[in-house]
Amino acid sequence: EIVLTQSPGTLSLSPGERATLSCRASQSVSGIYFAWYQQKPGQAPRLLVYGASNRATGIPDRFSGSGSGTDFTLTISRLEPEDFAVYHCHQYGRSGTFGQGTKVEIK
Amino acid sequence: EVQLVQSGAEVKKPGESLKISCKVSGYSFTNYWIGWVRQMPGKGLEWMGIIYPRDSDIRYSPSFQGQVTISADKSITTAYLQWNSLRASDTAMYYCAKQAPCSDEICPFDYWGQGTLVTVSS
């Protein structure tokens, strides 16, 4: 089973700042099988990015995904108040696994 | 409008059985794989498995194989997650989710249910 490790566990930033979230896989994952989700308290996750770099429908362009092989990144160019949440990475190339999540909190 | 509506919260004792449901509407149920995801209290997401409702083909995560049963009834566009003997460690929120259209068997999830909280306690 592919293990995904997200870092950092918590990211403390201010609105307007840039957020860079990392996800490392224990084995190489084809980029077309990689996604990111946002989850707010008490809510189900929401798909942000799929295929490593494709934004899902309705997702603002301040969210961007990149990466390949074992290292993937989600970047939020300028944090808006509604972006403070937990972010999960997901590989779906072999079976499916998620990372443990990165919390983006207000500094 | 795509909707996945899950059954309500459950409180069970260890050793009891349970079947939770996910009623789907707004898209062709038989054309997309649908999956289950576990989230234990304060923890991350765990991919449990997926089912293709057209023929009930199922893929389980190795971590959940033999621990749960995934099924679907296409006549009522509903997917299920079932336990024969619950443990305290099954306490979690369980989400059903529809896979997005993609060219492969396993895809990201583009629509999610609201979650079903399962509490197992003596």
Give me the half-sphere count of Cα atoms (radius 13 Å) on the Cβ side of residue A51. Answer: 9
The distance in angstroms from the start CA to the end CA of chain A is 35
Q: Report the 10 Å Cβ neighbour count for B7.
A: 18
For residue A45, the distance in angstroms to the closest alpha carbon of chain B comes to 7
Residues of chain B with pLDDT below 50 are none
User: Residue B46: CB partners within 8 Å, gap ≥ 6?
Assistant: A97, A98, B37, B38, B39, B40, B61, B63, B64
Q: For residue range A69-78, list pLDDT tens digits in order.
A: 999 999 999 9
Let me know: does B76 contact B22? Beta carbons within 8 Å: no
For residue A51, the distance in angstroms to the closest alpha carbon of chain B comes to 9
pLDDT at A93: 79
pLDDT at A32: 82
Sheet holding B69-73, edge to edge: B3-6, B18-25, B78-83, B69-73
Q: For residue range B64-97, list pLDDT tens digits in order.
A: 999 999 999 999 999 999 999 999 999 999 999 9
Residue B99 dihedral angles phi and psi, to the nearest 5°: -75, 145
What percent of chain A clears pLDDT 70, i.e. is strictly above it?
100
- Using CB atoms, which residue from B50, B107, B113 is nearest to A44? B113
pLDDT at A77: 97
B52–chain A Cβ distance below 8 A for any pair: no
Kindly determine whether residue B61 and residue A50, on different chains, have CB atoms separated by under 8 Å: no
Q: For residue range A19-68, list pLDDT tens digits in order.
A: 999 999 999 988 789 999 999 999 999 999 999 999 999 999 999 999 99
B82–chain A Cβ distance below 8 A for any pair: no
